Chain A
Amino acid sequence: MIEKDFKIDFKNKKISLKPKGGGQDYSVRELYSFLMDLLDEPENMKYDVPIESTGKDDFALINGWTIDEKALKHLKGGTLKSAA
């Protein structure tokens, strides 16, 4: 379950690996779906969307969001770019 491995820090706009996470790899698309599903909850509507789809299996972090190296290592399949 991706939500058990990735931590979403809305305040600091940062995606990171949970301390006990990392037991499984995910596609970037799975991360995208997870974030989209998370961001349409009422309590998260005040936050900017962190990611956008730029093509099939191509995604980009936007609105100042970042992802740390440990988390990045567990993303396989697809591309994730920084909008900057």
Chain B
Amino acid sequence: MAAPTIVTDLTTVDTAESAIGWLNQANMNPTTDTDAFVEGTSSVGLAFAAANTRYSMIADLGGSTNITGTHIFVWVKVNFAICASFAEGGVRVVVTNDNTGNTTNYGEWAVGGRDIQWCQEGWRLIVVDTSRPFDFVGAGTPPSNMTSIRRIGVSALSSALQMTGNSLNVDVLRYGTKIAITGGTTGDPITLKELVDSDLDPASGVYGIVTKNKAGVFEINGELRIGAESGSTNTVFSSRNELITFADQPAALNYLKIKSQQGTGTTDVKFGTGVGSGDAKVGVNGSVIDRINVVHGREYSLDFSSSINLVEFFGTTVLRAKDGLTFPNATGHEAISSSFVACGQVDLGQALARKNTFSSHGFIDTGSVSIAVTAAAVDTGSITIDVTASTRTFTRTAGGSGSFLTDGFEVGMVVTFSGFTNANNNGRKRITSVTATTIVVEKGLVMVNETGTADERVRTEFAYTRSSGSFVTDGFIKDMSITPSGFSNSGNNRTRIITNVKATQIFTRELTGITAESAGTRTIRSAGATGDGALLWNESINIKSSSFVGISNSVVTAAAIQHPSAASSPYTYDALTFSGNDYDVNNTSTAIDTGSVTITVAASAGTLTRSSGSFSSDGFTAGMTITSSGFTNPGNNFETKTIDTITGGGTIITVTDNSSLVDETGGGDERVQRNITIQNVNDADPSTFKGQPVAFVTASNLLVRVKDTSSNPVEFAQTAIFLNDGTPLMNEDTDSNGEASESTTKSGGAYIRVRKSLTGFTKYIPFSTTGTISGDFTLDVTLQEDTNA
């Protein structure tokens, strides 16, 4: 069993072995707690001495420190039952420029609360992006940036006092960027279990980049790097039959990931195991990878893009990797029998990809529409509201007018109460139930009975609003992470989780940084940096026998395969099947297009001659596949032909195949565009596309099987098929099975030749025959040994 070695740039601020050096910011001194800890033999804790009070513990960096671009890693445990809610700021990570217990000079990021799952489950590593805007600031001078931070800690807002024991504990506190695991061999790879077992030993580092929850699911809490960034260390990582989830952390966008790296040694990353060989190989024992992000809305990626020794995905299911999955752009890697569900774009590079399924890819997107950020989009205005503290109920007074339901309030909304005499009846709270006359809010700060005086108010702080179209119809739903764009105020462009969605309004859970902004052309899209295609087509891709299913969204724009280049057209789709997709192919290659011009066709010569302009200047070159349109004769409006030559100073295209062409004098509205041509073989069935032109043609499989008179396969027999006009359809050596295969979209009479008379090998009498290519073509050839050669 290989215990991984952890390689990191994290700086330990304090191991929390002693309360010495920790400060509070009023209200309660932290003490050393030897009963509760995750690292070493103790933690630092404090007890809530009163309700509705902020408590904090801050550790010393030893001097003003620049923590810009880092994450803070801190272990926290809180008595959730006496803690305020997330909306109220139940648990926070705090930073200050002061080396004192100054009670006002701080900034804080909300990380938990009694309604947040992790707070209910004991110790948790919190990973906070220090570039996030503060959710709360003290009344004094909060840090204006992260360049001169002196103390870091954790704070909490209580909802009751605790008589004995600690309410809030903090253990080892670090900051930094990278945590990598290295080690293992092919026979004894490092695993997540071994990482957790070794790292979470109190006597060990307890970095917590991977933890394990009560259900046995491995949780990744940040960026897990596999392999050595530099140096000669070899690494072999394996995951089999495991459930892996990325935790909901207030991390930076794109930070949650598994990332491979390799120095001068080798790094192997393996999920599952492969059984069999060649195209018959299948993947088994794979793991399942997913994420939870209902609070902070961070998506994850699997980034194996660096040049490492080996990446294997066998029988593995990747769910909702909205930030995408990338393989090295090299051969030697494999993805077999794996499923990529609701992911961002998958880039398999040049990996051997077989029997995979791509489904449910596609982002939800408004497109460019008029969207505003509206303050108080749902608002009672000043009315009379009573408070019943015991049930946390706000009641419109009997006999009063209006309705919370009519106003638009819904369960799940984070709303702001104001106008109440008691301060803790005011502020942000989340609705747990709503009727026409009552709103009940989640547990949190202690409320006080109060009789309304006609100046109370409930409102949502901000909503993204549109005047036409429908967010619901577009497919936006509760708990979806969204990324708005195009707003002038950068805070309005932050990624957030939807709490509620209506046809014309979206409400979010986190509200920091949102500012009212008038309507303008903007976009809201489901979060995740994703290209518009479930699979990115690498020009050297090696994929067969895979399915693209249900890649669709409500605005019917999702695509299965994105082609960013047309350089290698025509492309072969070998047993790639498509079903229920908005588009099977998205051709995003650069447009090469004549526009409407006058083009004359000379059929017998196979030429397209334009009267002005230049095909060459437009970007057309020999070998390109093209589509034509605008001709009177249907035969001249072809889906695809290949440019043989461009002559006449760039004005004449000669195509390789003049069939279907008819003499025609141009009328001024003819057009030629570069396309990508998809040759479908082995029941591949794409049929729809968007973007630049795509031509689908059904190709014939050509197979020649060569054996000797003893029925043994003959390898290295040169095997050729030519159409009678000399067009080559096949010209290659047979493989170890004695087979040569190709695909073609051409048809007609053909001659077939098989020859092997290579010095040093058994020589055979040349074979020749004729046939007709009109569909799949298979020929068995028996070669006679040539004893005279």
Chain A residues proximal to chain B, CB less than 8 Å: 29, 32-33, 36-37, 39-42, 45-46, 49, 52-53, 56-57, 59
Question: How far apart are A17's CB and chain B's nearest CB, in angstroms?
Answer: 22
Known: A46-B726, A46-B728. A36 touches B789 (CB 8 A): yes
A45–B720 touching, CB < 8 Å? yes
Cβ of B755 under 8 Å from chain A: yes
Write the chain A residue with the least CB distance to B765: A53
Cβ of B757 under 8 Å from chain A: yes
Residues in chain A near residue B121, CB distance under 8 A: none
Residues in chain B near residue A33, CB distance under 8 A: 757, 763, 788-789
Interface string of B715-726 (1 = CB under 8 A from A): 000101010001
Write the chain A residue with the least CB distance to B732: A42
Known: A33-B763, A36-B763, A45-B722. 14 other contacts (CB 8 A): A36-B786, A37-B758, A39-B755, A39-B757, A39-B766, A40-B757, A40-B766, A42-B718, A42-B731, A45-B720, A45-B755, A46-B720, A53-B786, A56-B788
B766–A49 touching, CB < 8 Å? yes
A contact face: mostly helix, strand, loop, or mixed: mixed
A29–B757 touching, CB < 8 Å? no
A-contacting residues, B749-789, CB 8 Å: 753, 755-759, 763, 765-766, 768, 786, 788-789
Write the chain A residue with the least CB distance to B716: A40
Please provide the 9 A-B residue pairs with the shortest distance between their CB atoms, ordered closest to farther.
Answer: A36-B757, A40-B755, A45-B720, A53-B788, A40-B718, A36-B789, A33-B789, A49-B766, A40-B757
B768–A49 touching, CB < 8 Å? yes
CA distance A40 to B728 in the complex (A): 15
B786–A41 touching, CB < 8 Å? no
Write the chain B residue with the least CB distance to A36: B757
Which one of A32, A49, A52 has the highest number of Cβ atoms from chain B below 10 Å of its Cβ? A49
Write the chain A residue with the least CB distance to B717: A40
Q: List 15 A-B contacts (CB under 8 A).
A: A33-B757, A33-B788, A36-B757, A39-B755, A39-B766, A40-B757, A41-B718, A42-B718, A45-B720, A45-B722, A45-B753, A49-B766, A53-B789, A57-B788, A59-B788
Residues in chain B near residue A37, CB distance under 8 A: 757-759, 789
Question: How far apart are A15's CB and chain B's nearest CB, in angstroms?
Answer: 17
Residues in chain B near residue A53, CB distance under 8 A: 765, 786, 788-789
Question: How far apart are A79's CB and chain B's nearest CB, in angstroms?
Answer: 12
CA distance A36 to B753 in the complex (A): 13
Residues in chain A near residue B726, CB distance under 8 A: 46
Which one of B732, B759, B788 has the highest number of Cβ atoms from chain A below 10 Å of its Cβ? B788
Residues in chain B near residue A46, CB distance under 8 A: 720, 722, 726, 728
CA distance A32 to B787 in the complex (A): 11
Residues in chain B near residue A40, CB distance under 8 A: 718, 755-758, 766
Residues in chain B near residue A36, CB distance under 8 A: 755, 757, 763, 766, 786, 789
Question: How far apart are A45's CB and chain B's nearest CB, in angstroms?
Answer: 4
CA distance A4 to B186 in the complex (A): 55
CA distance A49 to B756 in the complex (A): 12
CA distance A39 to B718 in the complex (A): 10
Write the chain B residue with the least CB distance to A59: B788
Question: How far apart are B708's CB and chain A's nearest CB, in angstroms?
Answer: 15
CA distance A29 to B753 in the complex (A): 22
Residues in chain A near residue B718, CB distance under 8 A: 40-42, 45
A32–B788 touching, CB < 8 Å? yes
CA distance A32 to B731 in the complex (A): 23
B788–A29 touching, CB < 8 Å? yes
Write the chain B residue with the least CB distance to A55: B788
Interface string of B156-169 (1 = CB under 8 A from A): 00000000000000
CA distance A64 to B228 in the complex (A): 68
Question: How far apart are B751's CB and chain A's nearest CB, in angstroms?
Answer: 9
Write the chain A residue with the least CB distance to B756: A40
Question: How far apart are B738's CB and chain A's nearest CB, in angstroms?
Answer: 15
CA distance A29 to B731 in the complex (A): 27
Write the chain A residue with the least CB distance to B755: A40
CA distance A57 to B753 in the complex (A): 25
Write the chain B residue with the least CB distance to A46: B722
Write the chain B residue with the least CB distance to A57: B788
Residues in chain A near residue B728, CB distance under 8 A: 46
Residues in chain A near residue B766, CB distance under 8 A: 36, 39-40, 49
Residues in chain B near residue A32, CB distance under 8 A: 788-789
Residues in chain A near residue B768, CB distance under 8 A: 49
CA distance A53 to B788 in the complex (A): 7
Residues in chain B near residue A49, CB distance under 8 A: 755, 766, 768
Question: How far apart are A80's CB and chain B's nearest CB, in angstroms?
Answer: 13
CA distance A32 to B718 in the complex (A): 18
Write the chain B residue with the least CB distance to A37: B757
CA distance A56 to B788 in the complex (A): 7
Question: How far apart are B752's CB and chain A's nearest CB, in angstroms?
Answer: 10
Write the chain A residue with the least CB distance to B763: A36
Residues in chain A near residue B753, CB distance under 8 A: 45
Residues in chain A near residue B722, CB distance under 8 A: 45-46
CA distance A45 to B733 in the complex (A): 12
Question: How far apart are B167's CB and chain A's nearest CB, in angstroms?
Answer: 80
CA distance A19 to B763 in the complex (A): 31
Write the chain B residue with the least CB distance to A29: B788
Interface string of B376-391 (1 = CB under 8 A from A): 0000000000000000
Residues in chain B near residue A41, CB distance under 8 A: 718
Residues in chain A near residue B757, CB distance under 8 A: 33, 36-37, 39-40
Question: How far apart are B83's CB and chain A's nearest CB, in angstroms?
Answer: 76
Write the chain B residue with the least CB distance to A78: B788
Question: How far apart are A46's CB and chain B's nearest CB, in angstroms?
Answer: 6
